[in-house]
Each structure stands twice: as structure tokens, then as C-alpha cells.
Amino acid sequence: MSKFHSTVTRRDFMKALGLTGAGLGAAAAASPVFHDLDEFMSSPNAKRKLPWWVKEKDTPTTDIDWGLVKRWDARNSYHDTPEKVGYLIENREKLTKQWSLENKLGYTQRDLALWESMNFPFSLLRGSWTGPAIEMMLHTPEAMGVPRYQGTPEENLQMLRAAIRFFGASDITAMEFDGNAQKCIFSHYSDGKTYEFENVDKAYEDDTKRVIPNNCNNVLVWSLVQSDSLGSRTAEGDCSYANSTATYMAYYRIYNIEGMIQRFLHVLGYQGLAHGTGGMSGAGAFATLSGAGELGRVSFNLHPIYGANIRSPNKMLTDLPLAATKPIDAGLKRFCLDCARCADVCPSGAVKQEGPQWEVHGSFNNGGFEAWRPDYAKCLPYRGFPGGEFPSDCGMCQAVCVFNKQDKAGIHEVVAATVATTGIFNSFFTSMDKAFGYGPKDPEDWWHEKLPVYGINSYMA
């Protein structure tokens, strides 16, 4: 028999062709086809898919002494008081003009234009406590005289995951709003109003307080990935408008999505209490407790897939029953113990080089848990505030995080799985991250690159 000619007969070829056709037909028949929302939300796409190396635990990797946790007063925030926010100052105006004229890297006139296109009144970020004002236009069960939607807690979470991913968020977790979790709610907001728990059916707000009904006993947490292709444009050793633009773009999206979730819940017949990114509770609290990530060195919630490239894990209280997700351990906090890239690049020294502590640095921190707490008194001048060194918000700590990786190069999965399993390679991986040039990139290059819409790889996770 010749080695150089095909030994496949015409009959075998036709048989193989038939089998291939049958295979394709079977694959097509097995492909998901959705006829309604019920089928859609029960599809695997609506389930939370954690990478295999992420372990679900009963307690978060952050040690918490609930006996020491007290409801924090947000009037102590360095970010929210009216005298510290929302106005430009002489120094900032001077630098803006000077750097524009100098074509300073990251602060050119077109960088400024991009940044200011995202600059909008921060009061909008606070959203609406009980929901958008257009609620009267919604076909709620109350308005239509029909029973409200009913589903199991598992079905409800899947339904919300399907909807909220469609709205634009990246990950959705949930937890029970029990006695300890209630301590995560601020005592006061920066406007002086208190957050109160009352035995009423509906949430409300008056001149002195925002009221949480006791029936809102579930917390929904939704994390939004921001554009790392823009967020990373901060040359090492300096901040930039570009980095800040990515942040502000995320805030725009958060504001819109929050309203969408509230309207979605209202039409189903349920409440959704939210107060933007800076209201109601600290951003990392419910995220860490519900498994949206681990609390890292900059007090960011580090997501196992998106790293620090998350703009504020957002939270909403609801009376819709939700299946709780568990806290996670992906070795992220342990990695932060050995890696301090964020602290290395912090221009203010606000991000600490030492390990996590129980002590607080000032009234702007809350106590009761062992964590890295940035010194916001040092951070503030770098966030576009009065007397500041930079006109825009500095986000270099976020931009250099080792976990901000895309999913194209296979090595990232190997590193992430190793980090989740053992900490002995952490220092090596930190060194390699620097050697391979990950982290800040030239802001000028961004204008010439082919990037996805919103600068986000929405296929991740």
C-alpha cells in the first residue's frame, strides 16, 4: 500500500461527512434557545461563575470583631463635606492652565477635554434613596392591581444577575442583612441626615432621616468594572487626567445602573434602597462579606477577576428574597501582605507599607476589623481638592494593582491559581509583574489604540 496516497475510500468519506453533519445537528439542538425571561434567567449565563481556584468560605479573609464595629458617621468623611468638594481652587486652576500650556504628559489639553467631558455634578452620584422620581410612570403591581412577582431566593438572584449584567455591571453577589450587617450602615450621611431602622412597610426620607424598613433584609452587591485601558494611563511617578477619566466614566454608568435596578425591582413589586457609591455604607463592607472580593491593601475590594479595577462595589437593600453568596478566598489579601506596588507608587504616602492593623488613622476610618487603612489626610491633596498637588483625582494605587489583568494571555490564570493555592511565590510574582512591564502606561498611546466600547473587555467572567 502506498504511503503517499489517501487510503480513505469514497464510502468512508461520505460516512464521515454524514457523522459530521449529525454532530453539527446535535450541537445545534443542544444550543440554548430562550423563549422567555424565565428560561433566560435559569440559563448558565445567569449563574455566578467563579474561577475554579476561588474558594468559598464561611467568613471573609478580613478578621472582624463585630463587638468593636460601630456605625460610622459619614460626616467625618474626607470626601463628602460640601466645603471640601465641588469647587476649583486657585492652585488647581493655575496648574490646569500651566500644564495644558506645557503639554505635560497626562495633562494635555485633549486629556483635559476628555476628563471634563466626564466631569458632572457629584450630587448626581447619590442617586435616589427609594428610587427614581419617575416611579409614578412605572407599571408596578400596586398600580396595576396585580400580585407582585414571586420566585425562590435562588431564582431571584439569577434573575437579578441576568438583568444587572445586561444593565452593565460585571458581578452580582448578595447577603442577608442581619444584626451584624446593620452595623455597616452609616449612622449619618454627610448631609446630616441619619439612617434609621423602623418597622414600616415602605422606606422613606424626610428632613432629618432616611428610613430602612425592617422588611428590607437582603443586600444586593453589584460590582462595576471600569476601563483599565484608560485607567492604567498614568505614567509611573505621576498622576493623569486619563486615569481619572476612567473613574468618572464608571461613576456615570453606576448612577444610571442604580436607577435601572431600582426601577426593575419596583415593577416586580419590591423596594431597592440605594444611596450612590458614597452613601449608606462603606463600599468594601458588603462586597467583602458577600464574596465580591477580598479587602486589599488600599482598602479596595479586590475582585478575583478584575482586581482593583472595580469602581466601588455598589450596594442596595431590598425586600426581594435573595440567596446569599459566600465570602471568598482567592489568596488576594495574602498576596497584598507580600506585594506593595500600590504603596510604592503612592505619591502621598497614604497607602501604608506595613501590614494590616486594627488601629484607625483618624475619624475618617472605621474600626473593628483588621485591615490596611489609607491615611486620607495625606491622600486628599492628590485628589483635586483645595491646596492639592494635582488637578485631577490620583488613582495610581488602583492602576498598578497586580490583579488588574485581562484574560488573553494564559499566564494570568496560572499565576492567579498559584496565588490562590500558596503564598510562597507572591514576592516572585510581584517582581515579575514589574519586570514584564505591567502597570502604568503612556497616556499618549491611548489615543492611537484600537479599544473596545467603554474601554472594557465585557467578555471577562
Partner 1 sequence: MWLIIGLIAGAAVLGLVLWMRGKDVSVKWYEWLIGAIGLLLLLFTIQNFAGSLAELESTAANMFLLVSGLPAIILLAVAWQLIARRQRAG
Least Å distance, CB 116 to partner 1, is 25
8/409 with CB nearer partner 1 = 409
The residues in 304-333 that bind partner 1, with binding defined as CB under 8 A, are none
**Residue pair 349/265 in contact by the 8 Å Cβ criterion:** no
Say if strands 272-273 and 301-302 run parallel, antiparallel, or are unpaired.
unpaired
CA atoms within 13 A on the CB side of 207: 0
155/433 with CB nearer partner 1 = 433
Site string for partner 1, 176-215 (x = CB under 8 A): ----------------------------------------
When computed from its CA atoms, the radius of gyration of the chain, rounded to whole angstroms, is 25
- Return all residues near 2 (Cβ < 8 A) that are at least 6 apart: none
86/410 with CB nearer partner 1 = 410
Among 77, 156, 173, 229, binds partner 1 (CB under 8 A): 229
If one asks whether residue 161 binds partner 1 (CB under 8 A), the answer comes out as: no
- Return all residues near 56 (Cβ < 8 A) that are at least 6 apart: 50, 291, 325, 326, 327, 328
CA-closest candidate to residue 212, choices 258, 279, 257? 279
Least Å distance, CB 401 to partner 1, is 15
CA-closest candidate to residue 222, choices 300, 311, 304? 311
173/226 with CB nearer partner 1 = 226
3/10 with CB nearer partner 1 = 3
Write the Ramachandran bin of 247: left for phi over 0, alpha for psi from -120 to 50, otherwise beta. alpha
120/436 with CB nearer partner 1 = 436
The residues in 397-426 that bind partner 1, with binding defined as CB under 8 A, are 405-406, 408-411
If one asks whether residue 438 binds partner 1 (CB under 8 A), the answer comes out as: yes
234/348 with CB nearer partner 1 = 234
What is the Cα–Cα distance from 331 to 333, expressed in whole angstroms?
6
Q: Where are the alpha helices (DSSP H) in 225-331?
A: 228-231, 241-268, 283-290
Least Å distance, CB 177 to partner 1, is 39
The residues in 331-350 that bind partner 1, with binding defined as CB under 8 A, are none
What is the Cα–Cα distance from 138 to 143, expressed in whole angstroms?
8
If one asks whether residue 3 binds partner 1 (CB under 8 A), the answer comes out as: yes
Least Å distance, CB 451 to partner 1, is 8
Site stretch for partner 1 (CB under 8 A), options 308-316, 335-343, 380-388, 430-438 = 430-438
- Return all residues near 319 (Cβ < 8 A) that are at least 6 apart: 213, 215, 216, 217, 218, 270, 271
If one asks whether residue 428 binds partner 1 (CB under 8 A), the answer comes out as: no
4/52 with CB nearer partner 1 = 4
360/411 with CB nearer partner 1 = 411
Show the cell assigned to 64: 472582624
**Residue pair 335/427 in contact by the 8 Å Cβ criterion:** no
**Residue pair 274/316 in contact by the 8 Å Cβ criterion:** yes
121/410 with CB nearer partner 1 = 410
Among 179, 449, 453, 459, binds partner 1 (CB under 8 A): 449
136/435 with CB nearer partner 1 = 435
If one asks whether residue 441 binds partner 1 (CB under 8 A), the answer comes out as: yes
**Residue pair 287/311 in contact by the 8 Å Cβ criterion:** no
Site string for partner 1, 245-284 (x = CB under 8 A): ----------------------------------------
Least Å distance, CB 435 to partner 1, is 7
What is the full DSSP assignment across 400-418?
T-TT---SSSTHHHHHHHH
Q: How far apart are the first and last CA of the chain?
A: 52
Query: What φ, ψ does residue 289 adopt, rounded to 5°?
Result: -70, -30
Least Å distance, CB 242 to partner 1, is 14
Classify residue 135 as exposed, middle or buried by CB count within 10 Å of its CB (0-12, 13-18, 19+): middle
CA-closest candidate to residue 259, choices 127, 383, 142? 127
Q: Number of residues interacting with partner 1: please give it, by CB under 8 A.
A: 14
If one asks whether residue 437 binds partner 1 (CB under 8 A), the answer comes out as: yes
Least Å distance, CB 410 to partner 1, is 5
If one asks whether residue 22 binds partner 1 (CB under 8 A), the answer comes out as: no
Helix then strand count (H, E) for the chain reads: 16, 11
What is the Cα–Cα distance from 72 to 77, expressed in whole angstroms?
10
If one asks whether residue 10 binds partner 1 (CB under 8 A), the answer comes out as: no
Among 166, 428, 436, 447, binds partner 1 (CB under 8 A): 436
Enumerate binding residues for partner 1 (CB under 8 A).
3, 229, 405-406, 408-411, 435-438, 441, 449
